[in-house]
Amino acid sequence: MWAGWRSVYVAAAGNGELVGEGSIFRRILDSGMSDEQAHIVWRGEHVFAILNAYPYTSGHLLVMPYREVPELEQLDADESAELWEGVKGAVAAVKAAYRPHGVNVGMNLGEAAGAGVPSHLHVHVLPRWSADSNFMTTVAEARVLPESLTDTWRKLRVAWPATA
């Protein structure tokens, strides 16, 4: 239940590193932080993959275009194609790094659909294991993560396929 590693994220948001225009993702991209500091696992020409700062489980990635758009149909052809390639790369990296029993891939488009950042569409990719729900999430509304975001970043960065 210890989450001391989150203090880096909170400090960055509070000390002015993540101020600016746009979504939190746009502010991270514009912050000048290194990919390791920002937990950006992969960069393509139009799309990138970043760790979820508040993951459901270790290995929870978000794949999204650099351009901040809220709707899937607003992506141009290059962004659409690379988004799917990025999702495929994320799935391959999650499988290689974590050996899960399954993988969830999904999008929440709009606030009513549950989007936490509705202005910047993103695809969730996260590993799942048989019977991976536990009483902490159900009863305490808390998650237990066995590793820091930096450890997760390193694992997924190494596991990311070279062709993606």
State the pairing for strand pair 40-43/123-128.
Answer: unpaired
- What per-residue confidence (pLDDT) applies to 13? 47
Structure tokens belonging to residue 75:
């992506």
**Which of residues 78 and 9 earns the better pLDDT score?**
78
pLDDT tens across 11-38, in order? 444 444 555 678 899 999 999 999 999 9
Distance CA 155, CA 149 (A): 10
| pLDDT (0 to 100) of residue 26 | 93
- Look at 91 and 54; give whichever has higher pLDDT: 91
Query: How many CB atoms are located within 10 Å of the residue 44 CB?
Result: 19
Q: Is 124 a catalytic residue?
A: no
pTM, 2 dp: 0.82
pLDDT at 146: 67
CA–CA separation, 97 and 59 (whole Å) = 8
| Longest CA pairwise span in the chain (Å) | 44
Quick one: 3 exposed, middle or buried, by C-beta within 10 A (0-12, 13-18, 19+)? middle
For residues 8 and 104, the model is more confident at 104
Summarize the confidence of residues 48-73 as an average pLDDT: 94
For the domain bounded by 6-159, which CATH number is listed? 3.30.428.10
Q: Count of residues for the chain?
A: 164
In sequence order, what are the residues at sequence separation of 6 or more whose Cβ sits closer than 8 angstroms to the Cβ of residue 82? 44, 45, 46, 47, 65
Whether the pLDDT of residue 151 is over 80: the answer is yes
pLDDT score of 160:
95
Convert the pLDDT of each residue in 114-144 to its tens digit: 888 999 999 999 999 887 655 444 444 555 5
In this prediction, residue 42 carries a pLDDT of 97
Q: Give the model confidence (pLDDT) of 76-99 as tens digits.
A: 999 999 999 999 999 999 999 999
- Residue 124 per-residue DSSP state: E
Q: Which residue out of 39, 46, 120, 122 is catalytically annotated?
A: 122
